[in-house]
Amino acid sequence: MLYRISRFFIFLLPPEFSHHFVLKILKIVNFFHLIKPKEIPSEKPILLNGLLFKNRIGLAAGFDKNAEHINIFQNLGFGFLELGTVTPKPQPGNPKPRIYRDVNKLAIINSFGFNNVGVKKFIDNIKASNKSVIIGVNIGKNAITPYEKSTDDYLKCLRQLYVHGDYIAVNISSPNTQNLRNLHNIKDLENLIKKIVNERIKLHKKFKVFKPIFIKLSPDLNLKEIKPIINLLVRHKIDGVILTNTTIDKSLISKAYRNIPGGISGLPLNKKSEEMLINVKKVSRNKLTIISVGGIMTPQDAKRRIQLGADLIQLYTGLIYQGPLLVDAIRREL
Ligand SMILES: Cc1cc2nc3c(=O)[nH]c(=O)nc-3n(C[C@H](O)[C@H](O)[C@H](O)COP(=O)(O)O)c2cc1C
């Protein structure tokens, strides 16, 4: 109820401004120790890919792009946080306005384009936090890097972030960086994955620590496209997939928003994301860890994803529409 009232006022503000405004307020509240993690007695930690997750609920990438709010989100009850997307160099992202709310559909349309402080400052921010949960670092390419050189950017991020994240999320599915989704093409994907896996072998030897690698996929793939991608990931011993990023299917939102560029998240993505989970589960034959994300708006949605075979889930748009108490409500439901 309290969040519903606050949301009324928050939604009067422009979406990008309100995002930063709410995070500033939460930062102050957290500074005075007013956000305290709740104990849920029934909750048991989960061991996956050598990582011990406090619970199955994660913050999706894009909410804390610069790793500036780790302390807040871990106190809100998340079992893991995926930070980023971060790119080798800082970049401003696409011109504003670049985020809209389609309130009637419980959706968000965003075209941010990886606005972030760059990998160096990102690492400083992680170091300055009191990290106590699993941290995933979500990596991408700079907009000015030509598509043919994409792999170089991912490798730069991987090398610098290897010791700072508990897992690495390779984002090939944002619709807001030109041609990025072409990395789903089998030939380009195989080239990228081979290089990432080879680099991981070197980093593993150098630092004597193994970090799982998850690939974040688009929801706009059909079963015919999914099969070779998943077979390739399994063949190259990738540890898991994050299903899914935003969709570009504009038919899912209100007419007034259909000409706005960007990817759609929230309730309209629910079915697509769930279908991806079902299909990938079938094709991967339990060889990949699955993080399910997209349109999880209620504890029942979260429970269904776990029942369908997801190992972990993540939230973004659900938090905007339902508020931060959604995290504890899901923790109690699972
Ligand atoms: C405003 C906004 C920014 C996002 N930025 C990123 C990003 O930088 N990297 C990424 O991998 N996903 C990003 N996402 C996608 C989310 O991580 C998530 O995959 C997607 O929103 C679906 O989940 P949801 O329906 O719960 O929001 C962003 C989503 C939103 C709404």
Name residue 102's beta-bridge partners: 107
The contacts of residue 241 (CB under 8 Å, 6+ apart) are 214, 215, 216, 217, 230, 233, 280, 284, 288, 289, 290, 291
Sequence ranges of the domains in the chain: 2-333
Please tell me the distance between residue 205's alpha carbon and the centre of ligand 1 in angstroms.
33
Which of 102, 245, 297 should be mutated for ligand 1, with most atoms under 8 A from CB?
245
Residues 123-158: pLDDT tens digits? Answer: 999 999 999 999 999 999 999 999 999 999 999 999
* Mean pLDDT for all residues in the chain: 96
Which one is predicted more confidently, 297 or 3?
297
Residue 69 · residue 23 · CB < 8 Å = yes
From 138, 142, 265, 326, the mutation candidate for ligand 1 (largest count of ligand atoms within 8 A of CB) is 265
Going by their DSSP bridges, the two strands 46-48 and 51-53 should be labelled as antiparallel
62 lines ligand 1 (CB under 6 A): yes
Ligand 1 centroid to Cα of residue 22, in Å, is 17
Please tell me if the CB atom of residue 326 comes closer than 6 angstroms to any atom of ligand 1: no
Instruction: Read off the pLDDT band of 81 (50, 70, 90).
Output: very high
- Encode pLDDT of 5-31 as tens digits: 888 888 889 899 999 999 999 999 888
Ligand 1 pocket residue status of 294, Cβ below 6 Å: yes
Question: How does residue 312 score in pLDDT terms, banded at 50, 70 and 90?
Answer: very high
Which is higher by pLDDT, 91 or 3? 91
Q: Whose CA is nearest to atom 28 of ligand 1?
A: 62
Could you tell me the two tokens for 195?
């290089």
Return the structure tokens found at 50.
């050598």
Residues 42-56: tens digit of each pLDDT? 899 999 999 999 999
- 100-113 average pLDDT score: 98
Determine the pLDDT at residue 173.
Answer: 98
Which residue among 111, 129, 174, 273 is the active-site one? 174
User: Any idea which fold 2-333 has?
Assistant: TIM Barrel (3.20.20)
What value does the mean pLDDT take over residues 29-38? 88
**Cβ 315 vs Cβ 64: under 8 Å:** no
Q: Could you tell me if the CB of 116 is within 6 A of ligand 1?
A: no
Q: Locate tokens 């931060």: which residue?
A: 324
Residue 174 among the catalytic residues: yes
| pTM for this entry | 0.97
- Contacts (Cβ under 8 Å, ≥6 apart) of 252: 105, 107, 264, 268, 269
Counting from 1 in the atom list of ligand 1, the atom nearest the Cα of 116 is 8
In this predicted structure, the answer to whether residue 2 has a pLDDT above a threshold of 80 is: no
What pLDDT sits at residue 111?
98
Which atom from ligand 1 is nearest to the alpha carbon of 267? 25
Buried residues in 224-251 as b, exposed as e (16+ CB within 10 A): ebbbebbebbeebebbbbbbbbbbbebe
